[in-house]
């Protein structure tokens, strides 16, 4: 799930939420003001775990990044599934 940053126009606090792209946060949980959150632009977080070899092609690096994130997503789905069953 994507991570979004929001800025409250009332208290000026920044908040970070993880939610589907179809959802939008509007109410500030910190100062409890209604319709005060504005979504901020944020850059993607790219973490380089290894030294880039001059022979590495951009497509190969991108493919590895996608595969790594696919595994993270799979783990998050399992955790959510387990949480859902634990509450039942």
Residue 88, pLDDT > 60, answer no
Strands 14-18 and 37-40: unpaired
Contact (Cβ atoms closer than 8 angstroms) between residue 65 and residue 73: no
For the chain, give the secondary structure using H, E and C.
CCEEEEEECCCCCEEEEECCCCCCCCCCCCCCCCCCEEEECCCCCCCCCCCCCCCCCHHHHHHHHHHHHHHHHHHHHHHHHHHHHHHC
pTM score, two decimals? 0.47
**Which tens digit of pLDDT belongs to each residue from 48-75?**
666 656 666 768 878 888 988 998 899 8
């Amino acid at each position: 799930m994507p991570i979004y940053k929001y800025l409250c126009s009332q208290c000026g606090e920044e908040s970070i939420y993880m939610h589907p792209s179809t959802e939008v946060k509007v109410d500030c949980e910190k100062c409890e003001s209604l319709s005060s959150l504005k979504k901020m632009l944020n850059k993607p977080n790219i973490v380089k775990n290894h030294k880039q070899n001059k022979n590495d092609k951009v497509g190969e690096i991108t493919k590895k990044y996608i595969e790594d994130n696919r595994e993270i997503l799979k783990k998050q789905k399992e955790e959510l599934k387990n949480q859902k069953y634990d509450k039942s």
